């Protein structure tokens, strides 16, 4: 019973997110549109629910009626989207014929998805409390919020050991506490399901976006290359913030791609929303928000337009304000600046540190997360070099996507340079997670800029 109720507790935020995505953007009803609606709606809905619970704690802490607040907000969303839903109810789902090549690639993708899904669920069952970071950081914070709502702001003391990372944003923790509030009990199924939902949402987003941009074959290939990499099977069940952060980074780039194609302002606003939700997910998300915002701003200024900048900022305002308030008013100071300016400059100028970081980067980006000791990124690189799109589809969007994830990697390099921790330990304990952040975006941009299996084998393209 706890398992079923825990799963049902996520239904309202997911439904709210799906309604928003449908009303604001995706209007058609083909298979890939549904994949986008469900995946984007899941992630955005969970993100908005966590923001709502954070605000709720300020206004009604200790009242235990968050369920009614969430029902009220879902009702408001339904009211304002009702007119948009009317044609949806009377529109038949678009059906397309697929050829034999697409059928076989799709079957392979289904096998990979099923295997990955079962693996994630099995890992979640075996590690019910999550991995180290889950119970040490995110679930710990959720328990503090849930068990003592009246004094929830005291859950982030300055004197708390840095090992607990009380300065980490609260998207995961506030969502878990919100579900426990609704259920009126703590249960490990809640963080388990949240982790699984984000894992499935990232897979659905890659599949749906590549299906919309490219073809059935390319969507299936994206699903295989994401769900089939070694880390994804267990990452989806760890209950940490790395995969949710990867989802929001990917969603931001996907929205930017669609904005370049459709030129609809709401899409760049949604990109701002997901980028700011990345900042509300993990500290690295703040870096991503700055990078994505800067790249969007530079592109808009190049076109002598300010409209895109304004929409991006408008979309990011709510989650960014919440994240900044948490950082400034509640969270302990970050340890990255604890050494002072002179120590930071000394570390930046130290060639030995550069050598150590480059060695780890070479290993993670060239030799890891692939098959038979071949890294997944070299495989993608070879695919792109051999099969890059001759038609130069969406060149501006592809350039923006490459710029964003490249700058994100450079930013990670810079943070390692000024790390206050012992460098070998810091790199060995975290660099694999940083790879997880950027890999789904790298995969999407690479396949969006490449030929499809249908083109390579000269099959009919849908």
Structure tokens at 433: 């997670």
Section 186-208 average pLDDT: 96
Report if residue 347 sits inside a domain. yes
Contact 290, 247 (CB under 8 A): no
Please report how the helices 31-60 and 189-213 are oriented relative to each other, as an axis angle in degrees rounded to 10: 140
Candidate ranges 27-31, 262-266, 275-279; pick with highest mean pLDDT = 275-279
Higher-confidence residue of 148 and 27: namely 148
> What per-residue confidence (pLDDT) applies to 332?
86
Above 70 in pLDDT, residue 26? no
Cα–Cα distance between 209 and 193 in angstroms, integer?
A: 24
Contact 344, 418 (CB under 8 A): yes
CA nearest neighbour of 70 among 12, 5, 157, 142: 12
Section 410-438 average pLDDT: 92
Range(s) of the domain holding residue 388: 2-92+102-456
Residue 25: pLDDT band with limits 50, 70, 90: confident
Above 60 in pLDDT, residue 274? yes
Residue 84: pLDDT band with limits 50, 70, 90: low
Above 80 in pLDDT, residue 334? no
Alpha helix (H) residue ranges in 326-422? 340-348, 351-366, 376-387, 395-417
Above 50 in pLDDT, residue 397? yes
Cα–Cα distance between 156 and 161 in angstroms, integer?
A: 10
From residue 263, give the alpha-carbon distance in Å to each of 13, 82, 256, 268. 28, 25, 10, 9
Residue 461: pLDDT band with limits 50, 70, 90: very low
Tell me: the pLDDT tens digits for 303-323? Answer: 888 899 999 999 999 999 999
> What per-residue confidence (pLDDT) applies to 391?
59
Above 70 in pLDDT, residue 94? no
Section 362-368 average pLDDT: 90
> What per-residue confidence (pLDDT) applies to 248?
98
Report if residue 118 sits inside a domain. yes
Residue 165: pLDDT band with limits 50, 70, 90: confident
Report if residue 248 sits inside a domain. yes
CA nearest neighbour of 47 among 16, 74, 73, 9: 16
- Number of independent structural domains in the chain: 1
Above 60 in pLDDT, residue 462? no
pTM passes above 0.85: yes
Residue 336: pLDDT band with limits 50, 70, 90: low
Tell me: the pLDDT tens digits for 52-79? Answer: 999 999 888 888 889 999 999 888 888 8
Report if residue 164 sits inside a domain. yes
Task: Kindly report which listed range (57-61, 159-163, 218-222, 336-340) carries the lowest average pLDDT score.
Answer: 336-340
Task: Kindly report which listed range (105-109, 300-304, 426-430) carries the lowest average pLDDT score.
Answer: 300-304
CA torsion 432-435-440-442 (nearest 10°) is -150
Above 50 in pLDDT, residue 418? yes
Question: Mean pLDDT in the chain?
Answer: 89
Structure tokens at 305: 């337009």
Report if residue 97 sits inside a domain. no
| SS3 category, 320 | helix
Structure tokens at 111: 């096998």
> What per-residue confidence (pLDDT) applies to 361?
95
Structure tokens at 162: 């840095």
> What per-residue confidence (pLDDT) applies to 460?
44
Residue 140: pLDDT band with limits 50, 70, 90: very high
E-assigned strand segments in 237-316? none
> What per-residue confidence (pLDDT) applies to 441?
97
Taking residue 322's Cβ as centre, other Cβ atoms within 10 Å add up to 23
Where b means 16+ CB within 10 Å and e means fewer, 438-453 reads bbbbbbbbbbbbbbbb
Cα–Cα distance between 37 and 25 in angstroms, integer?
A: 9
The radius of gyration of the chain's CA atoms, rounded to the nearest angstrom, is 22
Cα–Cα distance between 343 and 259 in angstroms, integer?
A: 43
Section 6-10 average pLDDT: 93
Report if residue 461 sits inside a domain. no
Report if residue 462 sits inside a domain. no
Structure tokens at 265: 């302002």
């Amino acid at each position: 019973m706890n398992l079923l109720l825990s799963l049902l507790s996520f239904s309202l935020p997911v439904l709210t997110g799906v309604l928003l995505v449908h009303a604001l953007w995706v209007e058609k009803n083909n298979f890939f549109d549904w994949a986008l609606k469900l995946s984007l709606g899941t992630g955005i809905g969970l993100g908005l629910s966590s923001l709502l619970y954070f605000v709720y704690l300020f206004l009604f802490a200790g009242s235990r009626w968050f369920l009614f607040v969430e029902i009220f907000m879902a009702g408001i969303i339904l009211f304002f989207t009702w007119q948009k839903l009317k044609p949806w109810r009377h529109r038949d789902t678009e059906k397309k014929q697929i050829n034999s090549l697409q059928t076989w690639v799709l079957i392979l993708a289904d096998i990979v998805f099923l295997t990955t899904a079962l693996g994630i669920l099995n890992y979640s069952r075996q590690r019910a409390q999550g991995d180290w970071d889950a119970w040490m950081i995110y679930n710990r914070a959720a328990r503090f919020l849930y068990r003592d709502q009246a004094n929830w702001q005291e859950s982030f003391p300055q004197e708390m050991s840095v090992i607990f990372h009380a300065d980490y944003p609260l998207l995961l923790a506030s969502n878990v506490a919100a579900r426990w509030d609704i259920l009126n009990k703590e249960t490990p199924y809640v963080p388990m399901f949240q982790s699984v939902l984000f894992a499935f949402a990232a897979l659905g987003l890659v599949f749906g976006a590549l299906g919309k941009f490219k073809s059935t074959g390319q969507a299936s290939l994206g699903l295989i290359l994401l769900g089939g990499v070694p880390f994804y099977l267990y990452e989806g069940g760890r209950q940490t913030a790395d995969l949710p952060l990867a989802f929001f980074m990917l969603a931001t780039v996907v929205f930017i791609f669609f904005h370049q194609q459709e030129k609809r302002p709401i899409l760049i606003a949604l990109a701002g929303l997901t980028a700011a939700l990345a900042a509300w997910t993990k500290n690295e998300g703040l870096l991503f928000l700055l990078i994505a915002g800067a790249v969007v701003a530079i592109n808009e200024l190049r076109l002598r337009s300010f409209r895109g900048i304004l929409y991006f900022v408008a979309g990011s305002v709510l989650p960014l304000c919440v994240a900044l308030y948490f950082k400034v008013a509640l969270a302990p100071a970050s340890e990255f600046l604890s050494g002072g300016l002179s120590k930071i400059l000394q570390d930046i100028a130290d060639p030995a540190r550069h050598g150590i970081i480059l060695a780890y980067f070479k290993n993670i980006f060239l030799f890891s997360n692939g098959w038979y000791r071949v890294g997944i990124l070299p495989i993608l690189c070879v695919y792109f070099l051999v099969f890059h799109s001759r038609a130069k589809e969406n060149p501006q969007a592809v350039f923006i996507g490459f710029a964003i994830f490249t700058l994100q990697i450079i930013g990670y390099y810079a943070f390692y340079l000024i790390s206050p921790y012992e460098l070998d330990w810091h790199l060995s304990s975290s660099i694999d997670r940083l790879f997880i952040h950027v890999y789904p975006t790298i995969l999407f941009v690479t396949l969006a800029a490449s030929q499809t299996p249908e083109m390579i084998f000269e099959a009919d393209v849908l």
